[in-house]
């Protein structure tokens, strides 16, 4: 087991001390034929180090070429010196020789690569190591992307606050049950279940010998008996043995049909004609011709044969489990759990996970099961009501009609077991996934049966919908558990690596589009994380930054824009212009609705929240979180507390000096102001804030008297004034302690709130179209200052790559950037960054902004950029910037015209690796400082 928690293999090739491991043993010295005596003579040594290096590179390339051919990896179509390896999940990685190593990269020309740990011995080992290298490339190069097929936003706090909300699991489970009900009532899903049952019957009839005196009807009844049982009322969907299969096919619901397939595939173990035993008959009777004629998947059938009869481990495991628990996971059964799972692409790893997922599962007591039992009314309320056949069967057992509240004998996974205490369950739940009964190996086996019937991948995916309609409404398994089982069966290709959370999962469900989810499944059209955010935004006791009357604008903007995005009927000119600039035709309702289906009203609210006064703190917690790699919540909390202290003290200093202060986040205003309604700098001060300001005035007055007394030679008077200064400072400290007591009450709640906002803002931004394109780049600007030697945000000439560790704002209005640069309190090293936006990362927030005139675009955290040399553009922007500053100076907006500043040109660079890590510290000493955060007048 390696550090990533996956199985690894060791080379079986004999090695001697000093040899490099792997099948290329000896290839790094010289390539030889071991049977050629001349090969044991040392070849002539190259004359120079360069020659030796080149020769070694050639030998390595030859050896790698031989290895790739043996492993079935083809040359890359765009480069004769690279190979394209296809991995699970539709991923591809490029392999090439680089500096004496075999490395993995995104493309043949990519400058970023990761060396493989060692030379692979087999294709399985190559796939393992290449997959690990690809994850490292993703981590190094991952930046927010233009909306794509997989909508994975990698938010700063990984939706942790959402998943820890007391209502999250309940609402997520309700969504999954609603999704199951959607599939239960979906006609295409019902047809898939019918087709699977019908196909299974045809195969069983084709491969079952008919006795000489057996009529057609008797033969059909004998075969169809595999689909029915009347001895297991605890199994949902059983209809007994008095139903004709044709009647079930014509009138049965998804649950009844899927249960019939379940019985005949492998569950009715005592019946001689189930599919599992029929397959054994093919193996033992050598009926391969008949199997091919019946249309079975012959490749999969051979894989089953190898697993059952070609494995040394399976018989041993089968005997052991019979001794210890009497199980059938490794029996000579193609649908035994262990056998089915081991046939997956990563069999050993998947089997270990299946076992781990069920290790902590505990049987509930009969009393607990009875208390949790479901009723006909329960399924009716879920829109998955009992069908005619299953109802008649249950009534025949009970001896009376079922009432809506009659407890059902069914024992669904959530009723039969308690699974939440296991380590696997805790790990999965931490990413927001409900856990019910562990990974669904039933899904794996059922889909394996569908596949071996030769129904094809498209039908298998539709049959997965039937399994969801079968198991989700009653909570036999959770959605993640079912999809993970389908992944093991090779039906679903979905990468769950790199903290693929429930939010990402729900938006990227196989076979489901956002329109269907929003309009047919989701309550109020909202995903669980959107519903949780909206509830806190509207709750009077919820978020402070969304409460009226102080922040009516957040709700006003959402109430104005969201109906237009939802319906596609654009009425406002500003929205129409914004859509057009983003490449969306505002006169095309379908195109507008497509964007609206990616967004939600809570997303719009979050974007507006960011453009107001909370952005100081949102950026603060985001920056510290990313700077520390999320390893220390206490560091993030302490960093925000320091930021709040700085905001409030700076606010009071400006009030005392009669300067216009930067507006505070709403929760902090009540620490320094009193009054009803909206609080501003003109509102009355609290007693502690008034004491602080009065003490500041007394201190400044005393300082002025000191200067006057000293100028007049009045030493005693100057010393008395110095005492007044000390007294004023003591009064300020006393007042600050009272203010600090108030902050201590507010900060914990604000800390939680800002993490909610940071994740929702990031999630919202990634649903928007990116600004510009490679063909039509958009120019934007940012006024800031540079840290010495190397800027983490902007890079440097020697290390030109930079990475945003916060929400990084730019403006398409040069004057806005010039104003921020001029007002920045940092002395020296002022910079005006010119961005060429090419549709990769930056998003236009202007239409959602409380300050639309700023024409603000924002780079999400982790965005990559690269400095480029363009002296002509830099000089042209410098001239325009000075002209804009002069105009603002004449209008009294600026106190002076900045002339000592540097202009740098920056382009988006999603492939740029993050810069070297820098320890957090004060601005100008390694920690990035957002000028906008500290100077923005909002």
CB 784 within 8 A of CB 933: no
CA–CA dist 735, 17 (Å, integer): 73
Rounded to the nearest 5 degrees, what angle is found at the Cα of 349, between the Cα atoms of 347 and 350?
Answer: 65
CB 811 within 8 A of CB 741: no
Greatest mean pLDDT among 60-64, 332-336, 783-787: 332-336
CB 668 within 8 A of CB 620: no
792's CB contacts (< 8 A; 6+ apart) are 802, 803, 805, 915, 918, 926, 928
Q: Which residues pair with residue 708 across a beta bridge? A: none
CB 150 within 8 A of CB 509: no
CA–CA dist 124, 9 (Å, integer): 9
CB 493 within 8 A of CB 90: yes
pLDDT of residue 150 exceeding 60, the answer is no
Q: Stretch 822-849: mean pLDDT, rounded? A: 88
Q: Stretch 266-277: mean pLDDT, rounded? A: 96
Q: Stretch 785-814: mean pLDDT, rounded? A: 89
Q: Stretch 170-179: mean pLDDT, rounded? A: 97
Q: In this predicted model, what pLDDT tens digit does every residue of 602-640 receive, in sequence order?
A: 999 999 999 998 999 999 999 999 999 888 999 999 999
610's CB contacts (< 8 A; 6+ apart) are 618, 757, 761, 807, 845, 858
Res 789: pLDDT: 77
CA–CA dist 824, 934 (Å, integer): 8
DSSP state of 440: -
Q: Where are the beta strands (DSSP E) in 679-769?
A: none
Percent of the chain with pLDDT over 70: 85
Strands 79-86 and 92-98: antiparallel
CA–CA dist 783, 780 (Å, integer): 11
697's CB contacts (< 8 A; 6+ apart) are 656
Res 496: pLDDT: 55
pLDDT of residue 577 exceeding 80, the answer is yes
pLDDT of residue 403 exceeding 80, the answer is yes
Helix (H) / strand (E) containing 803: strand 801-803
Q: In this predicted model, what pLDDT tens digit does every residue of 53-75 receive, in sequence order?
A: 466 667 777 888 888 888 888 89
Task: Characterise 512 by phi-psi region: left (phi > 0), alpha (psi -120 to 50), beta (else).
Answer: beta
Instruction: Indicate the angle between helix axes 457-471 and 168-184, nearest 10 degrees.
Output: 120
Nearest of 39, 101, 27, 17 to residue 70 by alpha carbon:
27
pLDDT of residue 913 exceeding 80, the answer is no
662's CB contacts (< 8 A; 6+ apart) are 647, 650, 651, 654, 934, 935, 936, 937, 938
Nearest of 676, 677, 682, 673 to residue 549 by alpha carbon:
677
Q: What is the DSSP string of 13-60?
A: S---TTPPSSTTTTTTT----TT-GGGGSPPPPPSSHHHHHHHHHHHH
pLDDT of residue 349 exceeding 70, the answer is yes
Measured CA to CA in angstroms, residue 736 lies from 222, 723, 730, 740, 832 at distances of 88, 20, 10, 6, 37
Q: What are phi and psi of 722, to 5 degrees?
A: -60, -35
User: Which of 28-42, 114-128, 857-871 shows the lowest mean pLDDT across its residues?
Assistant: 28-42
Q: Stretch 144-150: mean pLDDT, rounded? A: 39
How many Å separate Cα 163 from the centre of its chain? Answer: 13
Task: Characterise 843 by phi-psi region: left (phi > 0), alpha (psi -120 to 50), beta (else).
Answer: beta
How many Å separate Cα 605 from the centre of its chain? Answer: 21
Q: In this predicted model, what pLDDT tens digit does every residue of 111-127 receive, in sequence order?
A: 678 887 667 878 877 87
Nearest of 771, 842, 768 to residue 598 by alpha carbon:
768
CB 439 within 8 A of CB 137: no
Res 659: pLDDT: 87
CA–CA dist 63, 57 (Å, integer): 10
* Residue owning tokens 């507390």: 641
Task: Characterise 822 by phi-psi region: left (phi > 0), alpha (psi -120 to 50), beta (else).
Answer: alpha
CB 798 within 8 A of CB 869: no
pLDDT of residue 649 exceeding 50, the answer is yes
Q: In this predicted model, what pLDDT tens digit does every residue of 713-763 receive, in sequence order?
A: 999 999 999 999 999 999 999 999 999 999 999 999 999 999 999 999 999
Q: In this predicted model, what pLDDT tens digit does every residue of 480-521 receive, in sequence order?
A: 999 999 999 999 877 655 567 899 999 988 888 899 999 999
CA–CA dist 124, 126 (Å, integer): 5
CB 769 within 8 A of CB 584: yes
pLDDT of residue 914 exceeding 90, the answer is no
Q: Confidence class of residue 700 from pLDDT cuts 50, 70 and 90?
A: very high
Res 390: pLDDT: 97
Q: What is the DSSP string of 722-737?
A: HHHHHHHHHHHHHHHH
Res 930: pLDDT: 39
The residue ranking higher by pLDDT, 36 or 51, is 51
Instruction: Quote helix, strand, coil % in the chain, to nearest 5.
Output: 55, 10, 40
CA–CA dist 881, 887 (Å, integer): 10
Q: Confidence class of residue 145 from pLDDT cuts 50, 70 and 90?
A: very low
Res 51: pLDDT: 58
Q: What are phi and psi of 81, to 5 degrees?
A: -100, 15
CA–CA dist 83, 69 (Å, integer): 10
Indicate the average pLDDT of the chain. Answer: 85
Neighbours of 299 (CB within 10 A): 10
Rg of the chain over all Cα atoms, to the nearest angstrom: 34
How many Å separate Cα 887 from the centre of its chain? Answer: 46
Q: In this predicted model, what pLDDT tens digit does every residue of 276-328 receive, in sequence order?
A: 999 999 999 999 999 999 999 999 999 999 999 987 677 766 665 554 444 55
CA–CA dist 237, 252 (Å, integer): 10
CA–CA dist 468, 475 (Å, integer): 10
DSSP state of 519: I
pLDDT of residue 574 exceeding 90, the answer is yes
Cα dihedral: 708, 710, 712, 715 (round 10): 120
Measured CA to CA in angstroms, residue 618 lies from 662, 750, 826, 911 at distances of 16, 10, 21, 26
CA–CA dist 750, 92 (Å, integer): 43
Q: Which residues pair with residue 92 across a beta bridge? A: 86
Helix (H) / strand (E) containing 446: helix 441-452
Q: Where are the beta strands (DSSP E) in 433-544?
A: none
CB 209 within 8 A of CB 539: no
Q: Confidence class of residue 783 from pLDDT cuts 50, 70 and 90?
A: very high
């Amino acid at each position: 087991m390696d550090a990533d928690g996956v199985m690894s293999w060791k080379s079986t090739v004999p090695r001697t001390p000093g040899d490099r491991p792997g099948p290329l043993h000896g290839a790094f010295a010289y390539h030889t034929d071991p049977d050629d005596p001349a090969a044991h003579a040392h070849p002539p040594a190259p004359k120079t180090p360069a020659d030796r290096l080149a020769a070694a590179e050639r030998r390595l390339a030859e050896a790698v070429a031989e290895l790739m051919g043996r492993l079935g990896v083809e040359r890359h179509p765009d480069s004769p010196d690279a190979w394209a390896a296809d991995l699970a999940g539709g991923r591809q990685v490029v392999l090439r020789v680089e500096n004496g190593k075999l490395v993995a990269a995104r493309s043949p020309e990519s400058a970023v690569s990761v060396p493989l740990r060692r030379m692979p011995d087999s294709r399985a080992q190559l796939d393992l190591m290449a997959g690990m290298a690809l994850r490292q490339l993703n981590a190094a190069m991952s930046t927010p992307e233009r909306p794509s097929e997989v909508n994975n936003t990698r938010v700063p706090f990984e939706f942790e606050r959402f998943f820890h909300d007391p209502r999250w699991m309940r609402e997520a489970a309700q969504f999954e049950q609603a999704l199951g009900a959607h599939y239960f009532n979906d006609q295409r899903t019902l047809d898939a279940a019918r087709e699977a049952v019908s196909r299974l019957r045809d195969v069983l009839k084709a491969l079952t010998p008919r006795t000489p005196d057996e009529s057609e009807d008797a033969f059909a009844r004998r075969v169809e008996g595999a689909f029915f049982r009347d001895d297991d009322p605890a199994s949902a969907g059983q209809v007994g043995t008095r139903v004709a299969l044709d009647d079930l096919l014509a009138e049965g619901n998804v649950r009844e049909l899927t249960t019939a397939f379940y019985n005949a595939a492998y569950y009715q173990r005592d019946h001689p004609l189930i599919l599992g035993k029929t397959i054994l008959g093919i193996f033992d009777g050598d009926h391969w011709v008949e199997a091919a004629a019946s249309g079975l998947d012959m490749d999969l059938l051979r894989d089953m044969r190898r697993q059952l009869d070609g494995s040394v481990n399976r018989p041993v495991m089968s005997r052991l489990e019979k001794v210890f628990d009497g199980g059938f996971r490794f029996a000579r059964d193609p649908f035994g759990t262990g056998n089915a799972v081991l046939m997956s692409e990563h069999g050993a790893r998947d089997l270990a996970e299946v076992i781990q997922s069920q290790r902590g599962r505990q049987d509930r007591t009969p009393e607990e099961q009875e208390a949790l039992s479901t009723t006909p009314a329960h399924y009716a309320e879920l829109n998955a009501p009992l069908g005619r056949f299953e109802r008649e069967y249950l009534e025949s057992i009970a001896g009376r009609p079922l009432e809506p509240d009659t407890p059902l004998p069914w024992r669904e996974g959530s009723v039969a077991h308690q699974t939440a205490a296991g380590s696997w369950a805790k790990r999965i739940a931490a990413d927001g996934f409900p856990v019910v009964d562990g990974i669904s190996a039933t899904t794996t086996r059922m889909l394996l049966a569908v596949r071996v019937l030769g129904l094809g991948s498209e039908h298998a995916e539709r049959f997965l919908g039937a399994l969801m309609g079968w198991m989700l409404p009653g909570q036999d398994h959770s959605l993640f558990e079912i999809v993970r089982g389908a992944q093991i069966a090779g039906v679903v290709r979905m990468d769950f690596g790199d903290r693929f959370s429930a939010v990402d999962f729900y938006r990227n469900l196989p076979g489901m589009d956002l329109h269907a989810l929003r309009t047919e499944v989701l309550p109020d059209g909202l995903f669980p994380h959107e519903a949780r955010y909206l509830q806190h935004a509207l709750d009077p006791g919820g978020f402070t930054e969304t409460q009226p009357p102080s922040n009516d604008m957040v709700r006003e903007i959402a109430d104005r824009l969201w109906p237009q995005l939802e319906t596609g009927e654009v009425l406002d000119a500003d929205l129409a212009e914004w859509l057009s600039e983003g490449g969306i035709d505002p006169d095309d309702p379908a195109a507008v609705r497509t964007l609206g289906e990616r967004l939600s009203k809570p997303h719009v609210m979050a974007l507006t929240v960011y453009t107001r006064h909370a952005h100081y703190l949102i950026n603060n917690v985001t920056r510290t979180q990313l700077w520390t790699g999320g390893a220390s919540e206490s560091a993030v909390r302490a960093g925000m507390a320091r930021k709040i202290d700085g905001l409030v003290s700076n606010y009071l200093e400006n009030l005392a000096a009669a300067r216009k202060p930067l507006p505070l986040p709403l929760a902090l205003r009540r620490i320094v102001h009193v009054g009803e309604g909206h609080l501003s700098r003109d509102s009355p001060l609290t007693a502690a804030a008034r004491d602080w300001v009065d003490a500041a005035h007394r201190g400044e007055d005393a300082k002025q008297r000191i200067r006057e007394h000293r100028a007049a030679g009045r030493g005693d008077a100057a010393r008395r004034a110095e005492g007044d200064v000390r007294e004023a400072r003591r009064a300020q400290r006393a007042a600050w302690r009272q203010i600090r007591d108030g902050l201590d009450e507010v900060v914990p709640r604000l800390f939680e709130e800002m993490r909610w906002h940071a994740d929702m803002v990031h999630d919202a931004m990634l649903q928007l179209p990116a600004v510009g394109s490679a063909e039509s780049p958009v120019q934007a600007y940012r006024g800031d200052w540079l840290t010495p030697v190397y800027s983490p945000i902007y890079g440097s000439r020697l290390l030109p790559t930079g990475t945003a560790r916060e929400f990084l704002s730019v403006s398409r209005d040069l004057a806005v950037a010039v104003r921020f640069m001029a007002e920045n309190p940092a002395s020296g090293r002022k910079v005006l960054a010119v961005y060429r936006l090419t549709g990769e990362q930056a998003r236009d927030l202007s239409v959602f902004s409380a300050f639309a005139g700023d024409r603000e675009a924002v780079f999400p955290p982790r965005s990559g950029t690269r400095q480029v040399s363009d002296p002509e553009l830099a000089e042209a922007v410098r001239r325009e910037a000075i002209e804009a500053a002069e105009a603002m100076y004449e209008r009294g907006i600026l106190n002076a015209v900045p002339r000592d500043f540097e202009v740098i040109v920056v382009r988006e660079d999603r492939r740029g690796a993050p810069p070297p890590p820098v320890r957090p510290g004060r601005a100008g000493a390694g920690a990035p400082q957002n000028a906008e955060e500290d100077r923005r007048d909002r």
